Amino acid sequence: MTEQSMLDDIVASHKNKWLKKLAEYQARMPTVSSMLVEGKVTRMVGMTLEALGCQAAVGVRCEVENNDGESIEAEVVGFNGDRLYLMPTGSIQGIQPNARVIPSNAVYEVAVGESLLGRVLDGTGRPLDSKGPLNTTETIALNGKPINPLDRAPVTEPLDVGVRAINALLSVGRGQRLGLFAGSGVGKSVLLGMMTRYTTADVIIVGLIGERGREVKDFINNILGEEGMARAVVVAVPADQTPVMRLHGAFMATSIAEYFRDQGKNVLLLMDSLTRFAQAQREIALAIGEPPATKGYPPSVFGKLPQLVERAGNAAKGNGSITAFYTVLTEGDDQMDPIADASRAILDGHIVLSRALAESGHFPAVDIEASISRVMVDIIDQNHLTMVQKFKHIYSTYKKNEDLITIGAYTKGSDSRVDQSIMLQPQFMEFLKQDMHEPASFQQSQQELEILFEQAQQTEQVLQTVDPFEPMPEANKNQL
């Protein structure tokens, strides 16, 4: 072997060795790219932390660690160049300049299982009650899995919500998403509580988002009670929690509902309130510099609402369903509030609670004229539908003429339809009233509506010769 060929051999073996090494490094490249790069907090404005040096995607969970080793959880909510914006999920107390930011590369998950029934959780999924550990069986994504809209079963069956006015006149379908529009203090919580106790749904998930802390205890102890709590899971994130936590609370309640739906259960999801959820997103979006649009709400708020609401509904045919009620605060009873407006467009119906009715002691204060259930025609029979249309027609005839009637400007006999509505109004109002401790099943509500019209016919016959403004003679009353 010549000296030259020996040299060539050595070069070739070195070359091979290096190529092998490089191939090994190359094989390790994906691992290198997912390496966690830490950063540090450079600025803090309000609740927003700015971090430099770290790399993490939006929605990723990070730990912000102080010099003393204590860490706070924060979520990446945006970025600007190499600057990340983070929002803490808990208290920001103790965060110092240059605090370490350690991305986890993990997205948020929810621990679920049958054992969640009867429990009260916070926005992180930890128990708030003192009933011991949760004993969950699996974890699912906080943001859920999208369902192909073509795979969803249509809404065809009614769901008994236990409230007469709704069952009879605004029938709710399994898998329907409704808004409960009302100002403050007109009976939203009591109505949600009645539904929780009296519905025939298998599981009830209640999301108390951004409301007063005091109300949480009141809702659980007094409104839900033991009976309601047994098949319910409550996620409570009061107003004093961070906006990220409030968003998480709403998504978590939805994830838990999805879990039970995927077990084939009919779930009733009650979210109080969608407005506070929207306000949480507004706080986050404004803090990271998104320009405000309608009434201070940045555009991302209107994108976030369907992200939440679209997760409710039916799964594929033969599987479970999520029927959802989202309360929407109409400040100063303004039905044109941007959140109310946006919600109306993305929901399958709305139930409006009227302050005037609540103030007159009429509960549940459902405004029959202003409320609508868009799937009703698909879920009730023709006879029921005819009665509903008749009821609404007579009711709105009275309402249109109410002012004239009350000031005595209407003369009996001017219009037979108005005469009829005046005669029937007291019975109609009585039908719509329901004590909070009284259940009314779907079948019962339907029957009572039939009885109401039978009685109405008799009343009309009895009162044909009687002045509707005169009190009814005792003898005639007995015939009703």
Ligand X SMILES: Nc1ncnc2c1ncn2[C@@H]1O[C@H](COP(=O)(O)OP(=O)(O)OP(=O)(O)O)[C@@H](O)[C@H]1O
CA dihedral over 95, 99, 104, 105, signed as positive or negative: positive
Report the SS3 class of residue 295. Answer: helix
Distance CA 52, CA 147 (A): 37
State which of residues 48, 89, 189, 254 lies at the interface with ligand X (CB under 6 A).
Answer: 189
Stretch that binds ligand X, among 41-49, 180-188, 196-204, 450-458 (CB under 6 A): 180-188
**Residue 438 binding ligand X, by CB under 6 A:** no
391 neighbors 449 (Cβ within 8 angstroms): yes
**Residue 189 binding Mg ion, by CB under 5 A:** yes
Give the one entry of ligand X, Mg ion, none that residue 364 binds, where binding means its C-beta sits below a cut-off of 5 to 8 angstroms depending on kind: ligand X
Q: Residue of minimal CB distance from Mg ion? A: 189
**Taking Cα atoms as reference points, which of 161, 191, 146, 149 lies closest to residue 379?**
161
Give the one entry of Mg ion, ligand X, none that residue 449 binds, where binding means its C-beta sits below a cut-off of 5 to 8 angstroms depending on kind: none
Q: Name the residue nearer to ligand X (CB basis): 189 or 446.
A: 189
**Residue 436 binding ligand X, by CB under 6 A:** yes
**Residue 181 binding ligand X, by CB under 6 A:** no
- Tell the smallest beta-carbon distance from residue 184 to ligand X (Å): 3
Q: Name the residue nearer to ligand X (CB basis): 240 or 435.
A: 435
CA atoms within 13 A on the CB side of 144: 24
Give the one entry of Mg ion, ligand X, none that residue 187 binds, where binding means its C-beta sits below a cut-off of 5 to 8 angstroms depending on kind: ligand X
- In one-letter notation, the amino acid at residue 56 is A
Distance CA 254, CA 272 (A): 12
Query: How many helices, marked H, and strands, marked E, lie in the chain?
Result: 16, 19
Residue linked to tokens 């390496």: 35
**Taking Cα atoms as reference points, which of 102, 114, 170, 223 lies closest to residue 377?**
170
Give the one entry of ligand X, Mg ion, none that residue 398 binds, where binding means its C-beta sits below a cut-off of 5 to 8 angstroms depending on kind: none
**Residue 219 binding ligand X, by CB under 6 A:** no
**Residue 435 binding ligand X, by CB under 6 A:** yes
In terms of DSSP bridges, do strands 83-88 and 100-103 run parallel, antiparallel, or are they unpaired?
unpaired
Q: Name the residue nearer to ligand X (CB basis): 312 or 329.
A: 329
**Residue 321 binding Mg ion, by CB under 5 A:** no
- Tell the smallest beta-carbon distance from residue 217 to ligand X (Å): 13
Q: Residue count at the site for ligand X (CB under 6 A)?
A: 12
State which of residues 185, 264, 292, 296 lies at the interface with ligand X (CB under 6 A).
Answer: 185
State which of residues 158, 162, 243, 364 lies at the interface with ligand X (CB under 6 A).
Answer: 364
- Tell the smallest beta-carbon distance from residue 436 to ligand X (Å): 4
Rounded to 5 degrees, φ, ψ at 347 are -100, 160
**Residue 187 binding ligand X, by CB under 6 A:** yes
Stretch that binds ligand X, among 144-152, 182-190, 285-293, 400-408 (CB under 6 A): 182-190
Q: Name the residue nearer to ligand X (CB basis): 75 or 367.
A: 367
- Number of C-beta neighbours around residue 23 at 10 A: 10
Q: Name the residue nearer to ligand X (CB basis): 110 or 182.
A: 182
251 neighbors 308 (Cβ within 8 angstroms): yes
Distance CA 401, CA 432 (A): 20
Distance CA 66, CA 98 (A): 8
Give the one entry of ligand X, Mg ion, none that residue 98 binds, where binding means its C-beta sits below a cut-off of 5 to 8 angstroms depending on kind: none
Distance CA 414, CA 418 (A): 8
Report the SS3 class of residue 230. Answer: coil
**Residue 460 binding ligand X, by CB under 6 A:** no
41 neighbors 50 (Cβ within 8 angstroms): yes
Q: Which residues bind ligand X (CB under 6 A)?
A: 182, 184-190, 363-364, 435-436
Q: Which residues bind Mg ion (CB under 5 A)?
A: 188-189
